[in-house]
Structure 1
Amino acid sequence: MTDAGFSNIYDDEIRANAYAKLECPGTYYLAYRDLPAIISKHVQGRKALDFGCGAGRSTRFLRQLGFDVVGVDIAQPMLARARECDPQGDYRLIPDGNLSSLSPETYDIVLCAFTFDNIPTMEKKVAIFRSLKPVGGIRALSALTTMEKKVAIFRFLKRLLKGGGRIVNLVSAPEVYVNEWVSFSTKDFPENRMARSGDKVRVTMLDVEDRRPVEDILWTDEDYNEVYRRAELVPIATYRPLAKQSEPYSWVSETTIAPWVIYVLGHRE
């Protein structure tokens, strides 16, 4: 697949402006609808990290739930929009992908809301997480496989949790990329149907002014669970929210196919 005409959504001012206006409409509503109840059930304490906060939507969401939350990201344009929308929020740039400023055993919840979807290339993941230390010593993530990179990331996130803390990983289900939705279209990308874990897939977002296709990285449920196993994290619960006909949207596929997967993860005892 050619990358012509596609851009990094993190370092793109036009994308950042569009994402800053996006809250929880349409299909995105289902990503956030059940989170308050899920978080209330599984999380004790009020210290939160929004890991990969982008324009701050999920950071603001956590604060509305009563959390003392810090949002971190690598992209200055996204953080600038987050601060414009939320001047009182605590938004921090991770310089050069250096995560050493994040203190271990600090957070009751680490929320990753689409962090593992919306990074256009594996190279960007390497830049973000190159300071991680996988088991066996310090290794450059550029030398690791895609699976190993994800394992290294989750091992690092695990270290940020207090005892009893939880990682909530909200990701796109693989079905997002092969169906039509209120908020997304995939009809122009038939190649998505042949994609496997680690492959690039494309969608057109319908809820933002910027209609340039967005590149995501497909990752299956089976492979996510393998990542968690290797990172010594336990999937405590998995949720796949479906829409209800009574909700105020003209649902397309959402009532029968879950567009999102929400994993609640904890330390292995």
Structure 2
Amino acid sequence: MWNSKSREMWDDGSRCTIIPFLTKHITKGKVADLGCGDGYGSYLLYKAGFDVTGLDLSEDMVARANERVNGERISFVQGDLTDLPFKDESFDAAMAINSLEWTEVPYKGLEEMKRILKPGGRLCVGLLGPTAMPRINSYRRVYGEEVICNTMMPWELQKMAEETGWTCVDGQGVYKRGVKDHHVAELDEELKQALTFMWIFIFEKQ
């Protein structure tokens, strides 16, 4: 299912503003795409001039990503976001779109991202917002059932990042089609985040 719709999401859908936003704050270097799925976002990073390594927990997604590569300098590996198979300080930047909230303990994933980045390295994180339908995957927690999505709010991720050695450089929202610019223009950041389908952060490692 994911593979069938990922290109549309990156080209025209909820992810179409991510690469332009990232390139405003990260201009060159070696980038890790953490939770790369079928690799289309990694491919767009490569087209934007980056040296890209993609990682995903799913062997199937990594296989699909490798099938996409046709001589480009992109590599894909299977691995766990909370136990990355990379050396310390081996990347200039990283991108993690809708992946951190699928970890059991997001703090562990954020710490691993910090470990693999060079000092001053930047991280672009896309986090599902309060209006995102995938949060249905976390609903059954109210019955005490084990769930597969960590329902983390954007403000919670920012607070955790700032408490653990990151600086928040910038952020922007992705909204559902019914939300127009004039609906959110006068709101403060907390209220803007409350309406989002996804909030995108740029953090910098201190």
TM range (shorter): 0.7 to 0.9
1:85 to partner: Cα distance: 2.5
Residue of structure 2 equivalent to 1:236: 169
Q: How does 1:143-162 map to 2 (within 5 A)?
A: 149-162=105-118
Structure 1 equivalent of residue 188 of structure 2:
none
Gap runs ≥5 in structure 2: 184-194
Q: Percent identity?
A: 17
Superposition pairs of residues 177-192 of structure 1, within 5 angstroms: 177=133
Q: Secondary structure at the match of 2:66?
A: helix
Q: In structure 1, what is the equivalent of residue 88 of structure 2?
A: 104
Q: Which has the higher helix share?
A: 2
1:51-85 Cα shifts (integer Å, max 9, x gaps): 11121122112112111100012221111111222
Q: TM-score, normalised by structure 1?
A: 0.59
Secondary structure of the residue that 2:100 maps to in structure 1? coil
Partner residue, 2:33: 50
Quick check: 1:48–1:109 contact (8 Å CA) kept in 2? yes
Cα distance in 2, alignment partners of residues 106 and 44 from structure 1: 17
> Aligned-residue CA RMSD in angstroms?
3.2
Q: Counterpart of 1:92? A: 77
Q: Which structure: larger Rg?
A: 1
Report what 1:170 is aligned to: 126
**Alpha-carbon offset, residue 24 of structure 1:** 4.2
In the superposition, the TM-score normalised over structure 2's length comes to 0.75
Q: CA deviation at 1:155?
A: 1.9
| In 2, Cα distance between equivalents of 1:34 and 1:94 | 27
**Measured at CA, do residues 107 and 96 of structure 1 come closer, stay the same or move farther in structure 2, by a change above 3 Å?**
closer
Q: What is the aligned length?
A: 187
Q: Indicate how the Cα distance of structure 1 residues 90 and 53 shifts in structure 2: closer, same or farther if over 3 A, else same.
A: same
Residues 20, 152 of structure 1: alpha-carbon distance in 2 compared, 3 angstrom cutoff: same
Q: Deviations over 1:15-74 (max 9, x none)?
A: xxx322323436984543323332222114221100111211221121121111000122
Equivalent in the alignment of 1:35: 18
* Aligned position for 2:200: 262
Q: 1:223 to 1:96 in 2, by over 3 A?
A: closer
